[in-house]
Structure formats: structure tokens, C-alpha cells
């Protein structure tokens, strides 16, 4: 087994081929990243997630919450911008010669993470609990792999899929169904983003209100002047109204809608003419079983398969779903089943999900 592993490692391209990625390196990363849902099966079994409400109090591997969150979330947009800048000529000018759909996908991705990495932790959240180094490291790897796949795809790389006829391989423009899907996708993206921000800000405001209420009830003490953030570890269960009427994690659902829209916009992203035929790896990619429906859907509609965007959507859902389920259990343990009021984590009125 050791010799087999050694042979496989020796067959990999040098590390420099991943910064920025060559077509071969892109296909390797995409082939690995598509199997991320297998890793998330552990999250269904283990409630260990040392961040946020369930962060560890005194771990030596804790990182300040705002800084840790910024680092792990900023990896994605920084690497995407770096990759798109380096891939053409190193001058950065060629990005603007990419088709509009490619530029739009890059802009939507960066826009999401400007909120995610900067606005949310530093300007919106009242406080952020320490984040364990393990969580920061795993999230950083996820975002790096995802941004490698998305940037290479946006730039014009393609990964031929076994059994899938890419009808737009040599196309110079898109129209019809792809354009229609892109408009729908754009609407879904902004609906999801606005809903995600709205739900998250509501949670932040509830925490602020609860912390102020507790402070008002508490008698003056010598420790009141401490520099400790008064919002630290103050959590509340959202009332059964608005987007929280039937589920406890609507911000998760809205983010999934956001990335589904992103994938639909990606149906208009085309390979660069004159670039792909000379750079496509000779061996086609065999997609993971759970991605086959997307391949069939693309073939039925005779559209390009935005595989990296689809992989991102699937990985985001499978990563966040077990967190939401464990989060609902935490709400029950902390506030009681009566306060949860039968709400599901992400499925309306479903106690298991």
C-alpha cells in the first residue's frame, strides 16, 4: 500500500503547478473536491465543532473569533483574484477580455465573500467566539480548493466529463436556454444573498437586545467596567416569526439558494476559444454519483455543465446541513423543546432536519 501511495504521489504534478493551476492541476483538485460530501458524513456522527455557540473555552489552539473568521473566509476571494490575475499573462489586463458571464461569476463570488469575510465579522456581528485552529484550517482548505476550481473554470479551463457530450465545447456565444437560466440564476443569487444577510442580521440584533436587557437588570458591580465584550456568549432563540417561523437556520437555506443561482448563471460560462482544445487533459473526469443528476439535466437541456459551481453548491449544502441539525439540538438543550416550538433546522416543522 505504501508503494502504491508513493507511486500516486510521484505521478502528481509539482506543487508550483497549483499556483496558479495548470489544466491538469485543476482537474486533480476538482476530482478531489467533488468527493467532499464523503468527509461531511463524519459531521453527522460527531457534534464536535469548536466555533460559535459550541466553541471551546480554554483551548490553547483557539484563535480570536473575528480574526479567525476573516482568515478562513478571505482565502477564497483572495485566491480567486490571484488566480485570475496570474493565469493569463501576469499583467491582470486579460480578465477584462473574458466573456461577460465569466466576469459576472467572478464578481458574484467576490461580492458574497466581501460580506462574509469583512462586513459580517467586523461590522455586523456584536461578538464572535474563539474559533479552534482545526476549524480555521479545514475551512481555509475548503475555500482554497473551491476557489481554485472556480477561478480556473471562470478563466476558461474545462474538465471533460465521461459520458457527457459538451455541446458548447467550441461555441463562441450562448443564447436561448443558457441565457434564460442565467437570468433566473441572477435573481436567485440576489434573493439568497439578501435573505441570508437579513436573517443573520436579525440574529445579531436579537443578541444585542438580550445583552442590553441583561445588563440593565444586573446591579452595578466592580467588574462592570471590564473590557470584555458584553455580547460575548450571549445567545437567544429567535422568535417564531418572519423567516424564523418554521425553521431555525433560514440563513443557511438562503445561502444555498444563493449558490444554486450562481450555478445557473454559470451555464453561460464558456471555454476560451482557441485555448481549451490544446489544454484539456486527455482523460475525462468521472463525476461522483450524486452529481450525475446535474450531468443528465445539462444533457437534456443541451447546455454546458457548470461543474465547479455545481460541486460548490452540493458541498455547501452537505457541509452546512449537519451543522444545522446539531444546532437545533443545541437550541433544544439550551432553551427547551417548547421554545423551539416544533421548528426544523432547515426543513419546515421537521424535528429531525
Q: pLDDT band for position 271 (50/70/90)?
A: confident
Tens of pLDDT, residue by residue over 136-173, are 999 999 999 999 999 999 998 888 887 776 544 444 45
Give the model's pLDDT for residue 284.
Answer: 74
SS3 9: helix
Tens of pLDDT, residue by residue over 197-223, are 999 999 999 999 988 888 887 754 545
Tens of pLDDT, residue by residue over 30-39, are 999 999 999 9
pTM of the model: 0.90
Cα 173 to Cα 223: distance, rounded to the nearest angstrom:
66
Cα 209 to Cα 220: distance, rounded to the nearest angstrom:
19
Give the model's pLDDT for residue 95.
Answer: 80
- The average pLDDT across 112-124 equals 96
Q: Which residues pair with 63 in a beta bridge?
A: 131
Positive/negative CA dihedral, 138, 144, 145, 146: positive
SS3 222: coil
Average pLDDT, the chain: 86
Cα 323 to Cα 257: distance, rounded to the nearest angstrom:
17
Between 14-18, 200-204, 265-269, the lowest mean confidence (pLDDT) is in: 14-18
Q: pLDDT band for position 177 (50/70/90)?
A: confident
Q: pLDDT band for position 312 (50/70/90)?
A: very high
- The average pLDDT across 109-126 equals 96
Amino acid at each position: 500500500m505504501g508503494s502504491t501511495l508513493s507511486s500516486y504521489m510521484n505521478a502528481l504534478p509539482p506543487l508550483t503547478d497549483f499556483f496558479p493551476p495548470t489544466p491538469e492541476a485543476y482537474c486533480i483538485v476538482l476530482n478531489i473536491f467533488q468527493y467532499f460530501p464523503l468527509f461531511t458524513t463524519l459531521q453527522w456522527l460527531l457534534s464536535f465543532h469548536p466555533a460559535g455557540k459550541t466553541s471551546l473555552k480554554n483551548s490553547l489552539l483557539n484563535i480570536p473569533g473575528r480574526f479567525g473568521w476573516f482568515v478562513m473566509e478571505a482565502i477564497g476571494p483572495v485566491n480567486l483574484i490571484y488566480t485570475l490575475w496570474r493565469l493569463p499573462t501576469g499583467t491582470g489586463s486579460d480578465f477584462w477580455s473574458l466573456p461577460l458571464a465569466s466576469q459576472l461569476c467572478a464578481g458574484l463570488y467576490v461580492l458574497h465573500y466581501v460580506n462574509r469575510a469583512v462586513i459580517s465579522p467586523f461590522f455586523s456581528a456584536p461578538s464572535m467566539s474563539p474559533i479552534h485552529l482545526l476549524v480555521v484550517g479545514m475551512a481555509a482548505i475548503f475555500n482554497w480548493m473551491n476557489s481554485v476550481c472556480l477561478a480556473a473554470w471562470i478563466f476558461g479551463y474545462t474538465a471533460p466529463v465521461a459520458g457527457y457530450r459538451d455541446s458548447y465545447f467550441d461555441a463562441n456565444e450562448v443564447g436561448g436556454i443558457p441565457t434564460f437560466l442565467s437570468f433566473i440564476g441572477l435573481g436567485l443569487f440576489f434573493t439568497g444573498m439578501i435573505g441570508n444577510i437579513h436573517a443573520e442580521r436579525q440574529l445579531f440584533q436579537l443578541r444585542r437586545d438580550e445583552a442590553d436587557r441583561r445588563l440593565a437588570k444586573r446591579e452595578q458591580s466592580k467588574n462592570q467596567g471590564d473590557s470584555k465584550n458584553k455580547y460575548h456568549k450571549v445567545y437567544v432563540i429567535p422568535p417564531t416569526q418572519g423567516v424564523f417561523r418554521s425553521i431555525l437556520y433560514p440563513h443557511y437555506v438562503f445561502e444555498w439558494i444563493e449558490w444554486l443561482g450562481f450555478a445557473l448563471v454559470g451555464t453561460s460560462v464558456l471555454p476560451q476559444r482557441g485555448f481549451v482544445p490544446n489544454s484539456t487533459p486527455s482523460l475525462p473526469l468521472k463525476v461522483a454519483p450524486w452529481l450525475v443528476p446535474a450531468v443528465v439535466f445539462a444533457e437534456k437541456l443541451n447546455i454546458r455543465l457548470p461543474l465547479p459551481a455545481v460541486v460548490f453548491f452540493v458541498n455547501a449544502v452537505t457541509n452546512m446541513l449537519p451543522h444545522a441539525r446539531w444546532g437545533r439540538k443545541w437550541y433544544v438543550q439550551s432553551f427547551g423543546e417548547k421554545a423551539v416550538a416544533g421548528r426544523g433546522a432547515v426543513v419546515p416543522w421537521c424535528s429531525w432536519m
